Amino acid sequence: MDSHNRASAVCETECPSTAEKVRFLSATDAYPHAPTSVVVLETHMSYVFLAGDRVYKLKKPVRYPFLDFSTIKARENNCREEVRLNRRLAADVYLGIVPLTYRVSRGLSLDGDGAVVDWLVAMRRLPREAMLDRLISEDRLTGAHIDALSDTLADFYRRVERSSITAEDYVQRFFREQEKNRDILTRRDFALDHGRTPNLLDLLDARLTASRSLLQERVVQGRVVDGHGDLRPEHICFQDPIAIFDCLEFNVELRQVDPFDELAYLGVECALIGAKILGPQLVDKVAQRLSSDPPRGLVSLYAAWRATLRARQSVAHLLDDAPREPAKWEPLATRYLNLAQAALAADA
């Protein structure tokens, strides 16, 4: 299903539009396995088609400061990279990539004999009821689940490629992102607490400055890895083996992480949906398995920084020309800022 030898031999200006592609892929007869229904989901960067027991992802032809999907070749390269990286933690889920083809006489086809006009990531569909966020919301998460997830993550961090980022570049990334946090979160057109937010950002600035040497040491000690990059409960499925999918494939730099930064991020996302203790439990258990006990103040800093970053990313949706679910983002950002404040207070 990888189709390595297919050429994207079509003029970009002759391609069917994105709307035409989405319309075609929304129909059950587009797929050779004949699903009984197709559910279409839209994300910031993709359209996702839940087609029976398969999932297909079509990248949007978008360009942002952190990615460029504006050409067919760029989208093909990204699809291939998504499959390669996600097979590290979900080997049997990512089936490969499939060309979307077009002939004037027959229209669009999946893996047909026409010119390639786009590429899709093909996946095996995972059971929604086995996702970590569902287990948390339905109070079905057990100690066995937590131990199995700790084993999986520890094994991944033990064998994954070490990062080549320099200590200074690693530190500067935090400060660069914090400047963006301040720029977005202090804008008066967002319905946030503008008395609290600058003070919280000042405190986070101070903690980052005070922790500079600790952050640098994580790199010098070889602790920073090419990680998952987007470790959230909705990306973890308790099948056998556990599947952890949908990693951050489009930006190499943002995947260069301390494992305990990723675990702090997962802890923030779990706390957001009611499992406040899960993050610290995973930190402790993974630390035991890796025989690596990170400074606790650093873990809480990671949590505060991640929560603040997520607050920024939430309200940034409202800067789009036509934001999806506009009523969602400001209340969500406030919840993230509450978690950031709690993390900073934990070591005050």
| Residue 6 belongs to a domain | no
Q: Which residues of the chain have pLDDT under 70?
A: 1-14, 348
Domain end point (choices 125, 148, 163):
125
Q: Which residue has the tokens 């004999």?
A: 113
Instruction: Give CA separation, 18 vs 22, 146, 214, 240, 312, in Å.
Output: 6, 41, 47, 36, 29
| Residue 2 belongs to a domain | no
Q: Residue 17 in contact with residue 100, Cβ under 8 Å?
A: no
Please indicate, yes or no, whether residues 109 and 148 belong to a single structural domain of this protein: no
| Residue 3 belongs to a domain | no
How far apart CA 219 and CA 170 sit, in angstroms, is: 8
The pLDDT of residue 5 is 52
The pLDDT of residue 296 is 85
Please indicate, yes or no, whether residues 207 and 117 belong to a single structural domain of this protein: no
How far apart CA 167 and CA 171 sit, in angstroms, is: 6
Q: Residue 29 in contact with residue 108, Cβ under 8 Å?
A: no
Domain end point (choices 125, 150, 184):
125
The pLDDT of residue 6 is 54
Please indicate, yes or no, whether residues 54 and 153 belong to a single structural domain of this protein: no
Please indicate, yes or no, whether residues 159 and 96 belong to a single structural domain of this protein: no
Domain end point (choices 65, 96, 125):
125
3-state secondary structure 94-127: EEEEEEEEEECCCEEEECCCCEEEEEEEEEECCC
Q: Which of 229, 206, 17, 22 has its CA nearest to residue 120?
A: 22
| Residue 5 belongs to a domain | no
How far apart CA 311 and CA 318 sit, in angstroms, is: 12
Please indicate, yes or no, whether residues 166 and 308 belong to a single structural domain of this protein: yes
How far apart CA 152 and CA 262 sit, in angstroms, is: 14
Please indicate, yes or no, whether residues 83 and 144 belong to a single structural domain of this protein: no
| Rg of the chain, C-alpha, whole Å | 21
Please indicate, yes or no, whether residues 329 and 233 belong to a single structural domain of this protein: yes
The pLDDT of residue 293 is 87
Q: Residue 63 in contact with residue 70, Cβ under 8 Å?
A: yes
Please indicate, yes or no, whether residues 70 and 194 belong to a single structural domain of this protein: no
Q: Which of 68, 51, 50 has its CA nearest to residue 59?
A: 68
φ, ψ at 134 (rounded to 5°): -70, -40
How far apart CA 47 and CA 40 sit, in angstroms, is: 7
Q: Residue 1 in contact with residue 34, Cβ under 8 Å?
A: no
The pLDDT of residue 246 is 96
Domain range spanning residue 64? 12-125
How far apart CA 300 and CA 268 sit, in angstroms, is: 10
